[in-house]
Amino acid sequence: MAELAAASEVVIDFTQADTSATHALAVAKAGCAWVLGTTGMSPEDEAAILSAASVVPVVRAANFAPGVALVAELVRQMAAFLPPAAYDAEILEMHHRQKRDAPSGTALAFGRAVAVGRREPFAPLTARTSEPGARPVGGVGFASLRGGQVIGDHTVLFAGDGENVSIRHEALDRRIFARGAVRAALWTRGRPPGLYGMNDVLGLTAPIEESAPPP
């Protein structure tokens, strides 16, 4: 990674979480921009990423599909108008059987978008089958399905008394992630150091992934 960073203006990184701290040091030392799509970071990894962003521009996203960034912004706006006392926020995601993490990074990004819209801490509610009883008010529920070769299917549901409101994103071709990452890489040219998201690349209003309270 150090040699690649030294020879590059920008590095696009979709690798493993346990490499992120080493990669952060490499891009910071080389002074090249970093487009990061890896998820599942530890607190130490997160600190290394923030340190790199103080030196070089870092565009970080759980999903580089432009439609995902747009859905996250719409979810934020929906959450602002649909209060938790009246609407339960639930996120359903399905991916291929090989995917290791659950919920997916994209699902968590949508959950953080809900928290930002509601101006409350991000409180994830994962599988509740082992905890029988009524659903608590507030928080964001997650359900993860794994099977076949599904690229990525996410639905955000606001379930209310008398109506349900949902929005869905389905990835049909992995090339959409590559195109978004290349778009982000081109966008970094001339940018000052900082931690950016696809909202910045696309010119949307709120930096969902960076502004949400930590889980």
Residue 70, pLDDT score: 93
Residue 72, pLDDT score: 93
Tell me the residue type at 17: A
Burial of residue 27 (number of CB atoms within 10 Å: 0-12, 13-18, 19+): buried
- Looking from the CA of 164 toward its CB, the CA atoms found within 13 Å total 9
Tell me the residue type at 196: Y
Predicted structure pTM score: 0.80
On whether the CB atoms of residues 36 and 185 are closer than 8 A, the answer is: no
- Which one is catalytic: 23, 29, 95, 154? 95
Domain boundaries, the chain: 2-63+174-211, 66-171
Residue 88, pLDDT score: 96
Residue 150, pLDDT score: 96
On whether the CB atoms of residues 96 and 133 are closer than 8 A, the answer is: no
* CATH annotation of 66-171: 3.30.360.10
CATH class entry, domain 2-63+174-211: alpha beta
Does the active-site annotation cover 96? Answer: no
Spell out the per-residue pLDDT of the chain, length 215, in tens: 888 989 999 999 998 888 999 999 999 999 999 999 988 788 899 999 999 999 999 999 988 999 999 999 999 999 999 999 999 999 999 999 999 888 998 999 999 999 999 999 998 887 666 667 788 888 999 999 999 999 999 999 999 999 999 999 999 999 999 999 999 999 999 999 999 999 899 988 655 444 443 33
Residue 16, pLDDT score: 86
- Which one is catalytic: 23, 29, 96, 99? 99
Does the active-site annotation cover 99? Answer: yes
